[in-house]
Structure 1
């Protein structure tokens, strides 16, 4: 169950960040309100996750998946491009999340 809550926390953070970009510096009310709600959901669910999953593991997964998702959304929704070094960096983050989930016993 905590892993499902972590997925919800990640989704809230990704929605919040996407809406934050769309809010144009909080000059657009609708996206600004969605950003606030997304972050509220993200932090509430992350707080619940931290009751059972170690903070270092939960935060690494939360931020790593969020970074990768935002890179894809940035490209698709906002036309932002990553250079090769950026792609390598995101690949390394994804590899780190994979190592934590498959080889580490810290989160179990």
Structure 2
């Protein structure tokens, strides 16, 4: 159950961060509400996952690493951002670090 909560926390964080770009500096109310709701939901789910069984270092590494990798891919696929070999290497290093911590 803790791992499902962590996965949901990651999804909420990724949605919130994607909405952050779309909020245009918090000038669009709807996207700004989505940002706040997503981050609050993400932290609440992360807190519940930690309460159940996960170690904070491992959970946070997975939460932040998976979120970072997902946002880089979303930026490339949907927001017109570049994905260079150096960025791909950085994402692979993040994934490697999460595996080592786990």
TM-score band, normalised by the shorter chain?
over 0.9
RMSD: 1.0
Worse-superposed segment, 21-30 or 74-83: 74-83
TM-score by length of 1: 0.88
Match in the other structure for 1:80: 81
The gaps in structure 2 that reach 5 residues or longer are none
Match in the other structure for 2:20: 20
Match in the other structure for 1:63: 64
- Structure 1 runs (4+) deviating above 6 angstroms are none
Match in the other structure for 1:106: none
Residues 10-61 of structure 1 show CA distances to partners (whole Å, capped at 9, x for unaligned) of 0110000000110000011111111111001100001111112111000000
Match in the other structure for 1:39: 39
CA distance, structure 2, for counterparts of residue 50 and residue 17 of structure 1: 22
TM-score by length of 2: 0.93
Equivalent residues, number: 101
